[in-house]
Amino acid sequence: MKAHIVFAHPNLQSYNGLLRNTAIQTLEAFGWSVTVSDLYQMKFKASADEDDFTSLYNEDFFDLQVEQQTATQRKTYSADIVREHQLLSDTDLIIFQFPLWWYSMPALLKGYIDRVFSMGWAYGGGQALVGKKILVSMTTGAPDFAWTAEKRGTIIDIFKHLFVGTFGLCGLENLEPFIVYGAKRHSETDKKTNFEKYKKRLTMIVE
């Protein structure tokens, strides 16, 4: 079995980086093969534009969805998108690891979705990701009691665009997200406790 982690944090030594490492170690201990896209470390390009393609269908008027559909048929995606398509095609479980920034994901991860979850490949004619499991593992700044419908809204509420509008549209199987609330306030003991919780959660998924 294979897992692919899409990691979106500029610091590999961060709390998110340690959760990333926990996932790798836990999955490999169960005999899984794990690949990783460290988006910041790779300097992954966030903007979806003409450079995503080795040639354009219409050089006079750029339409991203039209170009993506055409590139899927003609195999004219840029090398970095081809790489990510292959990694996602080969995997059984996808993990998105990221911090909550401004009620959303880091812009680089949104750019990854724009470029890699491309029309004609992931949706809109092609469904390369159908049936694959996807797990969101994330950290928040605010503690858990702040994330209620009456206050900030729940994480499920504010990420409806991701769970429904992206993962659902692409036919992925949404797993219950693993959320570390109030991460900035955690002691080393708190962190170790959450790493153990994450190990248990991953174990439930892979066993």
pLDDT along the chain (207 residues), means of 10: 98 97 98 98 97 97 97 97 98 98 96 98 95 98 89 90 96 97 95 97 95
pLDDT for 182 equals 96
pLDDT for 186 equals 96
pLDDT for 150 equals 87
pLDDT for 151 equals 84
pLDDT for 7 equals 98
Q: 3-state class of 37 per DSSP?
A: strand
Q: Which domains does the chain possess?
A: 2-206 (3.40.50.360)
Distances (CA, A) of 105 to 3, 93, 124: 21, 20, 24
For residues 10, 186, 26, 100, the Cα torsion angle rounded to the nearest 10 degrees is -40
- Stated pTM of the model: 0.96
pLDDT for 147 equals 87
pLDDT for 35 equals 98
Largest CA distance in the chain: 58
Spatial CB neighbours of 91, under 8 Å, sequence gap ≥ 6 = 2, 3, 4, 35, 132
pLDDT for 207 equals 86
pLDDT for 130 equals 97
Give the CA count within 13 Å in the CB-facing half-sphere of 60: 0
